[in-house]
Structure 1
Amino acid sequence: MIRLPRGTQDILPGDSEKWQYVEAQFIDLCRRFNYQEIRTPIFEHTELFQRGVGDTTDIVQKEMYTFNDRGDRSLTLRPESTASVVRAFVQNKLYGSANQPQKLFYNGPMFRYERPQQGRMRQFVQLGVEALGSKDPAIDAEVITLAMTFYQSLGLTSLKLVINSLGDKESREHHRKALVEHFNPHREELCADCQMRLDQNPLRVLDCKKDHDHPAMKSAPKILDYLTEEAKDYFDELKQYLDASHIKYDVDSNLVRGLDYYNHTAFEIMSDAPGFGAITTLSGGGRYNGLVEDLDGPETPGIGFALSVERLLMALEKEGITLPVNQGLDVYVVSLGEKAAIPAYRLTQELRQNGLKVDKDYLNRKMKAQFKDADRNQAQFVVILGDEEVENQQATVKEMETGAQEKVQFDKLVQYIQTKR
């Protein structure tokens, strides 16, 4: 028997409806915030992620699914969507659109070669937004508000928002120098990755999973102590906008995120639900001024976030939240005898064409078995057709909850069901 690859999953009926529900809720919320959908390829040229995500990140160094195609071009299954969205923004000259900033959302599978664990897969689905073209901290607050509103609209209450500023270029240069001076005496005590990061991107040392308990981490210089006046003002304005929206947050100066392109605002939303597990992050994002230029576009600021659907569903489960997913049928058509077969099929299609959720028997089962199938499918009504019903052009309609039955003319059936629902 061929099994699915490690780190992937089959989403079966019964669960897929939950995915459809949260995706539909996200799309509706993005519409209300005036974000429009963008769809990018599942694979891109490898160079896009090397330049866009960063050569020093674990994603690029260890986690990408990369292969050469028949033309010997190096391609990579997308590990995240921001680089792809920015590439599309540049290639399609969306910066020239009269509609600015460009406010975009996406929904799709991502791929990273990680150690599979609960809520973390090698193929996973992300919902996310990107807002390109504005330096206003108000849009940072809007992006964070959209993410928080989405979780809260689904009923989650055990949420924790953590924010930080990674500063502007000058802030980061001063902080970088301080980090190198701080960690250099401990270089040999750090993991091989951190020793390399200390030369390439010292800020990434603070995000190390192996060395996070090292004493030097606790006393490391904080980026907030090196912010320029401009960067401080930006961060203060962001907090004022969040306060105005009554959104609670904690400031964590060690929050750096795992991608090289972030600057100024960085944030994560976590679950405090009991039993959620060691990895509490539900979503994260931040500002990436400079990324568009790195991908050969004009100077364009941007901010966005991505959330994991898998981890969202875990959080809902841990908080005991049941999504209002209706899996039942409106109508189940029971057919008895050869004369009823074609009329039953015709009525089934007619009911469906009028917006009703309908099914019928396709296994030639007896009446009792068909009614059991209607029960399994949580049908609200059963429409019964036998020889007599065909003869009189009347269906017997049974309301399953009350047991009430009524004869209804075929040409009145759609109206009758729609009125009774």
Structure 2
Amino acid sequence: MMIQIPRGTQDILPEQVELWHKIEEHAKALCHLFNYQEIRTPIFESTDLFQRGVGDTTDIVQKEMYTFEDRGGRSLTLRPEGTASVVRSFVENKRYGLPDQPAKFFYNGPMFRYERPQSGRMRQFTQFGVEAIGSKDPAIDAEVISLAMQFYQGLGLKKLKLVINSLGDPESRKAHKEALVNHFKPSINEFCSDCQARLEKNPLRILDCKVDHDHPLMSTAPSILDFLNDESKDYFANVRQYLDAMEIHYVVDPTLVRGLDYYNHTTFEVMGEGFGAITTLMGGGRYNGLVSELGGPESPGIGFALSIERLILALQAEKVEIGQPKPIDCFIATIGERAKQEVPVIIYNLRREGISCDQDYMDRKIKAQFKQADRLNVPFVVVIGDEEIEKGVVNVKTMETGNQQEVEIQQLASYIKEHIS
């Protein structure tokens, strides 16, 4: 019986990998411009980290985590997102004590959530994200948002919509929470069991519900913007002022929420068009209470995370072509047994000189070897026969022009380097 790939996962095949490399290189170069440093955290962590760091009322914790016990009886979970792990590392390694603050990180790696697979939503997916921890300056909010927009725009996407909102400070959120409870409580029996459980503990999560999103009470729910105190209003105004100065277009959406208790002030999403029902490309927000929740000092933070798989769908929808595989420099075609014996050493020496090359390993005829070279799209084919070996030369054919040049074997690397440049 053939063993198949697990549901909700995918193979990234050789012809697709170059696109992933281009995206990763773009992300690293952009983060360097913004002075964000890479951090790599474990694939699995203590389950308690995500229960506390993501929130035990969220769908992620309640329904989607891959959790298991190790041989020591410890509960471990494959990471479903990146922020909790980065903050855990920030606290555990006492990065808050370093002189350079805020601490600015980026990460890129696989995450795992058990959910119904569909286009743009996998059980194993790749997430790129950034976190800036240690500053409560609204300018850092604008910087993080601008980094996200520059990431997408730098890859050629144009159909983008930035949506922002403010969740206010704890005082504002408390007033909003009371209003939400009063709004939903009389009719809460009409909502799903998850929403009923969230009513008292975290009513903001009701606004995120996928089951009841069309319920009439959703559209009339109290807006957080009506409960912002003066400090929260000023903070949000400052963030918008920075975005306006940067000429970053945005839409304020009062329904955009982050349902965890430690999220406050700025929240944002970037939306795309034309690649399926799921249009959210990324999400982010400010989490001023998360560091202390995980055992560190009071350290405000903000970040975002995005799915590389959804990014690729958006690139395909807009017909943006990047990451075309780079061909190797040359292909060695052989005629005769003696030439075949000598070619491996010639190729070895070419590779030592930094020239990428390959040869026929299937005993093909010379015509079939040229067809293979065409499929590889190489700029040069080096033809070597027994007679050439005897003379110490090779014939180099430039595939674009059809010109052929006899070159001494000892000068082959220099010739190819010169003509490639």
Superposition TM-score, scaled by structure 2 size: 0.97
The structure-2 alpha-carbon separation of the partners of 1:77 and 1:258, relative to structure 1 and needing over 3 Å to count, comes to: farther
Q: Give 2:115's aligned residue.
A: 114
CA contact (8 A) 1:397 1:405 kept: yes
CA-CA distance at 1:319 after TM superposition:
0.6
Correspondence for 1:59: 60
| Aligned equivalent of 1:81 | 82
Q: Please say if residues 286 and 301 of structure 2, whose CA atoms lie closer than 8 Å, have aligned partners that are also in contact.
A: yes
Q: Distance in 1 between matches of 2:346 and 2:302?
A: 52
Q: Partner of 2:361: helix, strand, or coil?
A: coil
Shift of 1:387: 1.3
Q: 1:289 to 1:373 in 2, by over 3 A?
A: same
| Structure 2 CA distance for aligned equivalents of residues 361 and 98 of structure 1 | 58
Q: Is the 8 A contact 2:202 2:259 kept in 1?
A: no
In structure 1, what residue type is equivalent to 2:367? K
Cα distance per residue 1:241-261 (max 9 Å; x no partner): 111111000000000136554
Q: Give CA deviations for 1:96-153 in whole Å, capped at 9, x if unaligned.
A: 1222211111110000011100110000000111111111111111111111111111
* Distance in 1, Cα, partners of 2:346 & 2:37: 39
Amino acid in the other structure paired with 2:131: E
Q: Which residue in 2 is equivalent to 1:199? A: 200
| Displacement after TM superposition at 1:358 (Å) | 1.6
| More displaced 10-residue stretch of structure 1: 79-88 or 225-234 | 225-234
Note if contact 2:15-2:325 (Cα within 8 Å) is conserved in structure 1: no
CA deviation after TM superposition for structure 1 residue 336, in Å? 2.5
* Residue in structure 2 matched with residue 351 of structure 1 by the alignment: 350
Corresponding letter in the other structure for 2:316: E
Instruction: Give the Cα separation in 1 of the matches to 2:356 and 2:298.
Output: 51
C-alpha distance after superposition, 1:352-396 (max 9, x if no partner) = 233333211122222111111111111111112221222222221
String of CA shifts for 1:319-339, please: whole Å, max 9, x gaps: 111114233221111122232
Kindly provide the amino acid, as one letter, of the partner of residue 195 in structure 1. Answer: Q
The 5-angstrom pairing of residues 180-195 of structure 1 reads 180-195=181-196
CA distance in 2, matches of 1:349, 1:176: 69
Post-superposition shift, 1:285? 0.6
2:257 equivalent in structure 1 = 256
Residues 156-175 of structure 1 mapped to structure 2, 5 A cutoff: 156-175=157-176
What is the distance in 2 between the residues matched to 1:208 and 1:179? 14
1:255, 1:350 → 2: CA distance?
A: 59
2:394 aligns to what? 395
Cα displacement (A) at 1:420: 1.2
- Corresponding residue pairs, total: 419
SS at match of 1:53: helix
Alignment of 1:15-414 (within 5 A): 15-257=16-258, 259-272=260-273, 274=274, 276-414=275-413
Shift of 1:22: 0.8
The runs of 5 or more residues in structure 2 that have no matched partner are none
1:270 touches 1:283 (CA, 8 Å); kept in 2?
A: yes
CA distance in 2, matches of 1:278, 1:338: 59
For structure 1, list consecutive stretches of 5 or more residues without a partner in the other structure. none
Q: Distance in 2 between matches of 1:29 and 1:383?
A: 40
CA gap of 1:166–1:330, structure 2 versus 1, over 3 A, is: same
User: Which shifted more, 393-402 or 340-349?
Assistant: 340-349
Taking the aligned partners of 1:187 and 1:36, their CA distance within structure 2 comes to 46
Alpha-carbon contact 1:334-1:384 (below 8 Å) kept: yes
Q: What SS class does the counterpart of residue 164 from structure 2 fall into?
A: strand
Counterpart CA distance in 2 for 1:15 and 1:263 is 39
Contact persistence 2:347–2:358 (CA under 8 A): yes
Report if aligned partners of 1:21, 1:325 keep a CA contact under 8 Å in 2.
no
Percent of aligned pairs sharing the same letter: 64
In the alignment, is the contact (CA less than 8 A) between 2:395 and 2:407 conserved in 1? yes
Q: Distance in 2 between matches of 1:258 and 1:294?
A: 15
Stretch deviating more after TM superposition (303-312 or 334-343): 334-343
SS in 1 for 2:340: helix
Distance 2:194 2:348 in 1: 61
**Higher mean displacement: 46-55 or 91-100:** 91-100
Match of 1:48, SS? helix
Q: Which amino acid aligns with 1:326?
A: P
Which amino acid in 2 is paired with 1:103? K
**Contact 2:88-2:294 at 8 Å conserved across structures:** yes
Rounded to whole Å, the distance in 2 between the matches of 1:358 and 1:136 is: 53
Structure 1 residues 328 and 258: CA distance shift in structure 2, 3 A: farther
The DSSP-based 3-state class of the residue aligned with 1:10 is: coil
Mapped partners of 2:282, 2:259: distance in 1: 12
User: Which letter maps to 1:146?
Assistant: L
**TM-score (ref. length: structure 1):** 0.97
One-letter amino acid matched to 1:148: M
CA–CA separation in structure 2 for the residues paired with 1:330 and 1:232: 59
